[in-house]
A = this chain, B = another copy of it.
Amino acid sequence: MPDQICASLDVHSLSILAPDGTVDDALMPPLTETDIQRLYELMVLTRTFDQRAIALQREGRLGTYPPSLGQEAAQVGSAFVLQANDWIFPSFREMGVQLTLGYPINQILQYWAGDERGQQSPPQLNIFPVCVSVGSHLPHAVGTAMAARYRQDPVAVAAWFGDGATSKGDFHEAFNMAGVFKLPLVFICQNNQWAISVPVKGQTASSTLAQKALSYGFEGVRVDGNDVFAVYRATRDALNKARTGDGPTFIECLTYRVADHTTSDDAGRYRSADEVATWSARDPLLRLELHMEGRGIWSKEYAAETLQRATSDIDAAIEVLETTEAPDPDDMFAYCLSQPGQRQSAQRKAV
């Protein structure tokens, strides 16, 4: 003091894969060609799943569904780094995260068909139920990270959420606690620039979302969310930090919600076709294809095969979905409490 600068804070941004498919070699993470193909295949699976889900919804076989079109790199690239024993807290639009981690496709569909059994994470995965109440899952990620550390388990925790979620009180309380307790936690924002009809400028006046981490004493980084390598690299670094006790990181993936908010929404009411077209041209999948083609690990046949495999995996899942018996109404009682009370026992008989 008197009038001086008491804190100088920078926010970094990262991009590796250019729209033309070339990469910044200095920043390119050491992914094998198999890894890259796997990333690609998962992104194709995510997109194919999305198309099929929308079609099923139109046919009345699923309920309201939130498309992930355009966010495949931001979802697959971030989930790709996680390990089976890590704990995962998705919001509701992260089908790409679930698919990357091997969550059963039929269960994802089952959930969107309105059946809780779709949320019963397989025992080998620790994926929390999809969180519809925006941002309210972030404190759970904090508690889980506190618990893992208390137990000295080599576990990291990752949570996904949208730009809209950054406006919620729970975002703040969770980020703040993550900073105070220096938790093994990665916060991954899918800044798809819209929260239903509210653009990110109507959500916050801060120029990046990444800088919000500075409020909590940890690092925030903005990555090109349509660049799967940048997303991968940032998440890898953040997870390494988490695993070595260096605390949380906030990754803002700048991407775009190319489709409507959900199958009940009509985005044409509130945003321009131009904007959508601009962002569609920045397609994350296309960019990766160009890169792979340049490296000689992509061909039309390979693409067709990949699509074919995705389609048949999804077909198989739909088959399972549609042959699964309807849920038992008794499950409402079986899973409410560990044991129904006197009143519920009576009600249970009546159902």
Contacts and interface: CB of A to CB of B under 8 A. Distances in A.
Interface of A: 1-16, 24, 26-27, 167-173, 176, 179-180, 182, 202-208, 210-212, 214-218, 222, 224, 230
Given A16-B2, A167-B173, A182 B211 contact: no
B3 A12 contact: yes
Stoichiometry, copies per complex = 2
A293 to B, nearest CB: 21
Given A14-B1, A180-B205, A9 B168 contact: no
Contacts of A9: 8-11, 211, 214
Contacts of A205: 176, 179-180, 182, 216-218
Given A7-B208, A210-B6, A210-B7, A202 B215 contact: no
Contacts of A27: 2-3
Given A180-B203, A211-B214, 17 more contacts: A1-B14, A5-B11, A5-B13, A7-B10, A7-B210, A9-B9, A9-B11, A167-B172, A168-B169, A168-B172, A169-B173, A172-B172, A176-B204, A204-B215, A204-B216, A207-B217, A212-B215
- Which residue of A24, A172, A210, A222 has the most chain B CB atoms within 10 A of its CB atom? A172
Contacts of A179: 204-206
A180 B208 contact: no
A343 to B, nearest CB: 27
A12 to B, nearest CB: 6
A345 B211 CA distance: 54
A5 to B, nearest CB: 5
27 contacts: A1-B15, A2-B27, A3-B12, A3-B14, A5-B12, A6-B12, A7-B208, A7-B210, A7-B211, A8-B8, A8-B10, A9-B9, A9-B11, A9-B211, A9-B214, A167-B172, A167-B173, A167-B176, A168-B172, A169-B173, A172-B173, A180-B204, A205-B216, A206-B216, A207-B217, A211-B214, A215-B215
Contact of A214 (B4, B206, B218, B230): B206
A47 to B, nearest CB: 24
A218 B212 CA distance: 12
B8 A13 contact: no
Contacts of A182: 205
Contact of A13 (B3, B14, B208, B224): B3
Contacts of A208: 6-7
A211 B179 CA distance: 14
A16 B167 CA distance: 36
Nearest to A175: B172
Contact of A202 (B11, B180, B202): B180
A24 B91 CA distance: 52
